[in-house]
Structure 1
Amino acid sequence: MSTTALAGIKVVDLSRVLAGPSATQCLADLGAEVIKIERPKEGDETRHWAPPQFADGTSAYFSTVNRNKQSLTVDISTPEGQEIIQKMILDADVLVENYKVGGLKKYGLDYDSVKALNPRLVYASLTGFGHTGPDSHKPGYDYIIQGLSGLMSITGPEQGMPHKVGVAVVDLFSGLNLVIGIQAALLARYQTGTGQHVDVSLLDSAVTMLGNVGMNHLATGNVPPRLGNAHPSIVPYQVFETAGGQHLILACGNDKQFAAVCNVMGQDWNQEERFETNPKRVLHREALIELMQEEFLSHTRDQWLSVFEAAQVPCGPINNIAEALAMPQVIEREMVIVLPKNDTDISVLGSPIKLSATPVSYRTAPPNLGQDTVSVLTNLGYTAEQIEKLQQQGVV
């Protein structure tokens, strides 16, 4: 019988919106017990980011990153609410928060305060700019960080305005970095016996995402331009229009593949001195792409894909979201999961982590607001009378 990788790990989740909850959902999928702390009445603001929403009224946005969690409503601005969180911290392994730097100190829930309660606690913070530096006090938003980090300066058509990525990619990438940091801190705890502060920021994560383009600048001092769908160091490696107005991606990574492309297209471009190697093709990019684009218009997308795939040339269509989620490969890999919720079913995106011995588990749909408040407080030792009083006071 298989177990889950993080079975026995208890997580107090003070995060909200996308980046932090994406990290805690990943931990929950891996088997951790995650208790999501939400404000009474309002809850996580993404509960109200609708439409679209499911039949039971749960917003699609909230459902993206909140499965496998319990929902406990607590007003942490009250002494009684702070006491509840402190009791939870006593036997917790991880606390995740995405408040502005210093925002939890007034509640006695900052790292220095809570590590005195539980020195083994891994305290994970996800902020816009990190806990150090001249901008650490500023709030962080994915869109703003995409601009600040340089990501938008290299995204979009060569002419016109810079573009953001179509999803909040910095939030999601930062959430993954937080998971890595949390798991590293848990492993370190087995050696040292103590927890530590995990400090991940949106800006740091976005700068890391610059990857080879950022390294191109460090190597040359040049400012990388926007190239639209082209690649700064490989040609041809971009989108082409085909007959009928459809598009395909051709990813030709070396000279052998380019020779195969030329053979498929019935051309001898690879025998021309200006196109014979990739560095030369990069220098003469515009001339080659013009020739190729003209030829691509002679056949449909599917016709080109068929012959390129037969020649083992990397290529692919540009699917819309419905087409992508209906792909047999996506279905076979269980990347769309159906979960029961409120007498109906909802579909959610699956986890990309596939473990052979300790697989992820899909246990519960995104919770209703406060649905686990009574059970969590009961487990903490609160009596029915005490819980009722807290409810009457608006603490929970």
Structure 2
Amino acid sequence: MLDTLSQDFPEHTPRPAGAPQALDGIRVVDFTHFIAGPFATMMLADMGANVIKIEAPGRGDDFRQYPPVHPDLGQGAPFLWSNRNKRSVALDLKTPEGLEVARALIATADVVVENFSTGVMERFGLDYESCRRANPEVIYCSVSAYGREGPFADRLGFDPIAQAESGFVSMNGYADRQGVRALSPVMDISTAMMAANAILGALVARERTGHGQSMEVALFDNAVLMTGYAALQHVFSGAEPQRHGNTSPDTCPSGVFEAQDGSFYINCGNNKIFQRLMAQVIERPELADDPTYATGRDRSARRDELFALLGEAFVKQPRAYWQARMRAAGVPCGEVRTVGEAIRSPEARARGLVTRIPHPAVGWVPNMALPIRYSHTPIADPVAAPTVGQHTQEVLRETLGYGDARLAALAEAGAFGAPSASAATTGALA
């Protein structure tokens, strides 16, 4: 399954020895699962936070089983993508002993993050007010579907539902058919980014005021934001956004064109770019100065004839020929690639976006870097996502000072799950 990893991707280049980390010393107790919550806490872990992922014994986060699952890892590529640099503690929160350990960890935390259905953390007694009593300075982030209060607080939420209900789907695709969702979980990822930003802001505020606080980021709220400026365009004009396929309603010519050997995308975002495209790239200066093409609105009205004219020119040469000319002329242009082509592209390699990192079970696993480059506090070196409960003993010894007897008693009481699950996830107790 990972046979070509060594030849396809370089080994990760370590960060400078001894360099500080942005969130060094910050402890995060992470009760999240699936995508939006775990991706948010992974960003914090990449910045150097000590992220302790609380999982159900045995099965762990259900996202572990999203395909393709590597037989020797026992978890899938999506879980690896969203859970590096964390330590996993397996706790059965349905047992008094498991809850006791969770509360003890929260009492030591700077940040608690959860994305359970509304009411679950309250039933466990792990809601913000309960946590604040034990840890007044705690920062508590809830990632929800439609908010924790109000008439829709009970609704479950997943990325494609948020895409549909926010209007995002209605904007994408072609005018002669139903709108389409983005296959990438763009709402989950962007919600995670919002949650991470909210937590970072709260950490700064705590430094200033000495007070923790609770915060919430709702998937639906974020999805509406992700429709971009289309919402305010609608308010101004009363018109609903229309589907334009790969063209743009605001700029022209912008869209996909065919060269001899493949497709590429041009974005003519203003008049000067259009003029450079015509005069310098396809060598038609008379069109650059043609008053019928003077403005974006003029060009949009003649989109079909412009696209036909450009298509006739572009098909005569390969992509590399046109891309070189457009780069020299300052015309934004890019190849239309598959995902596999993109992650193996010269641009991705130059930026070190996809590398391989060591893994004790399979030798190497792939890793995708965050698009954040700090000059003074570089992102942490990636450590592959843990197995369920891999760090239970380590974390409880280190963070709570538990000794052998205490760990054995908790295991016996089922805090780490049934005896077979407990042994599998925590290892034999000394």
Query: What interval of TM-score do these two structures reach, taking the shorter chain for normalisation?
Result: over 0.9
Larger displacement relative to structure 2 (357-366 or 260-269): 260-269
Where do 1:59-70 residues align within 5 Å? Answer: 59-70=76-87
2:354 to 336, 339, 355: 336
Establish whether residue 226 from structure 1 lines up as the match of residue 243 from structure 2: yes
Partner of 2:403: 383
3-state DSSP class of the match of 2:120?
coil
With over 3 angstroms needed to count, the CA separation of the structure-2 counterparts of 1:182 and 1:61, relative to structure 1, is same
Contact 2:98 2:414 in 1 (8 A): no
Q: For the Cα contact (< 8 Å) 1:262–1:269, is it kept in 2?
A: yes
8 Å Cα contact 2:42-2:83 kept in structure 1: yes
Which range moved further: 354-363 or 89-98? 354-363
Name the SS of the counterpart of 1:104 in structure 2. helix
Partner of residue 278, structure 1: 296
Instruction: Spell out, residue by residue over 1:137-173, the C-alpha distance to the aligned partner (whole angstroms, 9 max, x if none).
Output: 2111001000111111111122222111121010000
The superposition leaves residues 275-321 of structure 1 with CA deviations (integer Å, 9 ceiling, x where unpaired) of 12112112332332233333333333233223222322111101222
Deviation at 1:207, TM superposition (A): 1.2
Q: Give the secondary-structure state (helix, strand or coil) at the position aligned to 1:200.
A: strand
Structure-2 separation of matches of 1:382 and 1:271: 77
How many positions carry a matched residue from both structures?
395
Which stretch has the larger CA shift, 206-215 or 63-72? 206-215
Aligned to 2:325: 307
**Residue in 2 aligned with 1:176?**
193
Please report the RMSD computed on the Cα atoms of aligned residues, expressed in angstroms: 1.7
Cα distance between partner residues in 1 of 2:168 and 2:188: 13
Mapped to 1, the partners of 2:237 and 2:166 lie a distance apart of 19
Alignment of 1:260 with 2:270, yes or no, is no
Q: Which runs of 4+ in 1 moved over 6 A?
A: none
User: CA deviation digits over 1:225-282, x for unaligned, max 9?
Assistant: 01111112111111112334x2111111221221221122243333433312112112
Equivalent of residue 361 in structure 1, options 380, 383, 387: 380
Deviates more, 1:376-385 or 1:102-111: 376-385
Alignment check: 8 A CA contact 2:144 2:219 kept: yes
CA distance in structure 1 between the aligned counterparts of 2:232 and 2:311, rounded to whole angstroms:
30
- Aligned partners of 2:305, 2:237: CA distance in 1, in Å? 25
More deviation, 218-227/318-327: 318-327
User: Are 1:261 and 1:308, in contact at CA under 8 Å, matched by a contact in 2?
Assistant: yes
2:152 is matched with which residue: 135, 150, 154? 135
Q: CA–CA distance in 2 between the matches of 1:376 and 1:115?
A: 22
> In 2 relative to 1, CA 52–236 (structure 1 residues): closer, same or farther, beyond 3 Å?
farther
TM value normalised by structure 2: 0.88
- What is the letter of the counterpart of residue 298 of structure 2? K
How far did residue 223 of structure 1 move? 0.2
Identify which of 139, 147, 150 aligns with 2:167.
Answer: 150
1:251 aligns to 2:270 (yes or no) = no
SS of 1:131's equivalent in the other structure is coil
Contact 1:124–1:182 (Cα < 8 Å) also in 2 = yes
What one-letter code is carried by the residue in structure 1 that aligns with 2:409? K
User: Against the structure 1 CA distance between its residues 266 and 319, is the aligned structure 2 distance closer, same or farther, given a 3 Å change threshold?
Assistant: same
Contact 2:171-2:242 within 8 A present in 1 as well = yes
User: In the alignment, residue 322 of structure 2 is paired with which amino acid?
Assistant: W
Q: How far apart, CA to CA, are the structure 2 residues paired with 1:3 and 1:28?
A: 14
Find 2:390's aligned residue among 371, 377, 389: 371
1:53–1:157: structure 2 CA closer, same or farther, 3 Å change rule? farther
Cα deviation, residue 103, structure 1: 1.6
Match runs of 1:59-98 below 5 Å? 59-98=76-115
C-alpha distance in 2, partners of 1:17/1:173?
14
Measure the CA separation in 2 of the matches of 1:328 and 1:201.
37
Distance in 1 of aligned mates of 2:263 and 2:200: 41
Residue range with higher mean Cα deviation, 186-195 or 338-347: 338-347
Given that residues 264 and 335 in structure 2 are in contact (C-alpha distance below 8 angstroms), is that contact kept between their aligned partners in structure 1?
yes
User: 2:66 touches 2:75 (CA, 8 Å); kept in 1?
Assistant: no
In the TM superposition, residue 54 of structure 1 has moved relative to its aligned partner by: 7.1
What is the one-letter code of the residue matched to 1:313?
V
Comparing 374-383 with 59-68, which one deviates more in the overlay?
Answer: 374-383
Conserved 8 A contact 1:24-1:34: yes
Secondary structure of the residue aligned to 1:72 is: strand
Instruction: Pick one of 159, 167, 183 that aligns with 1:166.
Output: 183
Q: Does 1:322 align with 2:309?
A: no
TM-score of the superposition, structure 1-length normalised? 0.95
CA distance in 1, matches of 2:150, 2:308: 47
CA distance in 2, matches of 1:175, 1:370: 23
1:334 deviation in Å?
2.4
Displacement of 1:56 in angstroms is 3.2
Compare relative contact order (CA 8 Å, sep 6+) and give the higher one, 1 or 2.
2
